Amino acid sequence: MRIAITGASGNAGTALLRNLQGQLSLKPGSLQVKGISRRLPDQSREPYAGIEWHTLDVGVERDKPLLEAALQGVDSVVHLAWQIQPNRDLEQLYRTNVEGTRNVLEAARRAGVKQVVCASSVGAYSKAPKDRRTDESWPATGMPGSHYSRHKAEQEQLLNRFMEAEPGIAVARLRPGLIFQGDAGSEIGRYFLGPLYPRILPAAPRVPLLPAPDNLIFQAVHADDVADAYWRVIDQRASGAFNIAAEPVLTSRELAWILGARRILPVPMRLLHKLVGLAWTLRLVPTDSGWVDMAAGAPIMDTGRARRILGWEARTSSVDAVKEVLEGMGKGKGVGPSPVLKPR
């Protein structure tokens, strides 16, 4: 089987490469893997060794011929390429995230790829109540206040139109919760805390008092479990949407326990929205208040379809995934060979 991965040196991409290396150790020669990335990782070190690498930008016009050439002879393409920063340059983000998806789909069609597997997100969904679980039938039309959510919803529409136009190509999309691993600690710190990151986060974060939104409820999953879901979709040539998240659903109570906080100070989500917006305006943080909108509105996903069809179960709890990424952030962990995951 021949597999191509866009965004192969990122958080989920690195975890998927680790997974595929494990599959190869069980069945040597059974897989041929191509990695597609804007920046080339160190190919002498795992899990980037033994991969056919293509350096290109999926979102730019001049690289479209290179992208199509990279997908020639491929059975399945896993589209993970996505930019979160620079958060202030929405034109660049749209070019990579939405136009990049459009370019990958067109290149896959022209190259005769048999399956497209795309990284969507819980952020693609429209606002949902937090008191019950929603399955994949919930509208994936995004939340207007978040550019990330809007771009994910546009990506979903591109996939829908592609499915209608190309019924012979299997199209799958994974909608995971927040994806964490220790090796992504530095990357996540840079993305969401920016210049504050190395200054405010200790190696072992513990706080006596946790200020947290009064309705903070979200889902997380370890990157290795997401990679396992991607492999199962590829191996079974599955199609359709799959919610991917670990248990338990996380609230401020679980976060307080993880951080060793004795008390929780409820903070209205509206106040947090204003504070993040002010910090972004003052360039204290690199992410805007749209992320608060998305956190407040994102559904609590039902992952039953992934269990029934893929046989998927998370091996790492959401609590352990959060603990691992916080430790990674505090210690400045990363993956040296990857420009994206470089340590602090």
The angle that helices 318-331 and 252-259 make with each other, rounded to 10 degrees, is 50
Identify the CA nearest to 7 among candidates 38, 45, 53: 38
Which of helix, strand or coil describes residue 109?
A: helix
pLDDT beyond 90 at 225: yes
Which pLDDT value is given to residue 297? 95
Crossing angle for the helix pair 64-71 and 100-111, to the nearest 10 degrees: 50
Task: Classify 83 as helix, strand or coil.
Answer: coil
Give the chain's domains with CATH numbers: 2-179+220-245+300-315 (3.40.50.720)
pLDDT average, residue stretch 230-236: 98
Element (H, E) at 324: helix 318-331
d(C-alpha 284, C-alpha 98), whole Å: 28
Residues 47 and 54: their CA atoms lie apart, in Å, by 16
User: Could you tell me the pLDDT band of residue 330, with boundaries at 50, 70 and 90?
Assistant: confident
- Per-residue pLDDT of 56-94, as tens digits, reads 999 999 999 999 999 999 999 999 999 999 989 999 999
